Amino acid sequence: MAVDYRLEGQAAVITGSTSGIGQAMAGALAEQGVNVVLNGFGDAAQIEADRAALAARTGVKVLYYGADMTKPDEIADLIGFAHRELGRLDILVCNAGVQHVAAVDEFPDAKWDQIIAINLTSVFHGAKHALPIMKAQGRGRIVNIASAHGLVASPFKSAYVAAKHGVVGFTKSCALEVARAGITVNAICPGYVKTPLVEMQIGDQARTRGISPERVVEDVILAVQPNKSFVSYDQLAALMLYLVSDQGGSTTGAALTIDGGWTAA
């Protein structure tokens, strides 16, 4: 049975959607008839080719706005652009994120500031500018892509873990504020997803450690993921579509795990 999420004609902004999870989320929304604004870094020609291909495949409006998530003014401009060009704003998926791995006493100050700015503070600025529009419409959906690291920690990822825990806290507080306004705010907490970055790590680790890619996946990358399977884009998209649909209207302020059992351990 095909699920009808009834999203046709809605408008969405997906931050960090030139790659990986954000790109998959934008594709899933466009396939449901949602007009989307893409955002993120990358090669300009590739971004334009991907934008045009998604528009041709789905028949919806697919726009691109290259706001830098470390810059509050540019985040405000991104939301303003989407509202102006698409005439409304129903869905905001805050997905842009970066990682840096180092011991706390060796963690570069600039990397800490950058991770907090992109992974946490941009989520605040996105909501701050989207909420007035959503309140005026009487309906809205904010989905923040946190992480299993929003709920539990790993060593050497202090900035990322701090930012993602912050996203979960911000999500709850924001959800309570707008609970009567027809707006839901939720966090998705994925375990490992096989994005291009993770694919590269598998090859690198297999070469460095002299073991098979299969062993790298099971013993190194998915060591913390009890089902030993990556979370797929389809699984993430299904959860996100539920959250932004009317059917998801009673789910708010939640940090929803999709991690193969990682945070149950």
Residue ranges in contact with ligand NAD by CB under 6 A:
16-22, 39-42, 68-70, 95-98, 118, 145, 147, 190, 192-193, 195-198
The SS3 call for residue 141 is strand
CB of 136 or CB of 223, closer to ligand NAD: 223
CA distance 187 to 176: 13
Min CB(257)–ligand NAD separation in Å = 11
Minimum distance between the CB of residue 145 and ligand NAD, rounded to whole angstroms? 4
Quote the tokens at residue 163.
């930012």
Least distance in Å: CB of 37 to ligand NAD? 12
CB of 47 to ligand NAD, least distance (A): 9
**Sheet (strand 91-94) strand order:** 62-64, 35-38, 11-14, 91-94, 140-145, 183-190, 255-258
Complex with ligand NAD: residue 7 or 189, whichever CB lies closer: 189
Cα–Cα distance measured from residue 233 to residue 217, given in angstroms and rounded to the nearest whole number: 17
Q: What is the DSSP letter of 220?
A: I
Q: Least distance in Å: CB of 195 to ligand NAD?
A: 4
Could you tell me the two tokens for 60?
Answer: 């919806």
Phi, psi of 109 (to 5 degrees): -55, -45
Between residues 102 and 181, which has the closer beta carbon with respect to ligand NAD?
102
- The string of DSSP codes covering 201-248 is HHHHHHHHHT--HHHIIIIIGGGG-TT--PBPHHHHHHHHHHHHSGGG
Taking the C-alpha atoms of residue 53 and residue 19, their distance in angstroms, rounded to an integer, is 14
Output the smallest distance, CB 125 to ligand NAD, in A.
Answer: 11
160 is catalytic: yes
Number of other CB atoms surrounding residue 188 within 10 Å = 25
Of residues 64, 65, 160, 233, which has the active-site annotation?
160
Which residues are CB-neighbours of 94 under 8 A, at least 6 positions away?
Answer: 15, 122, 123, 126, 127, 142, 143, 144, 145, 167
Give strand pairing partners of 256.
188
Catalogue the active-site residues: 160
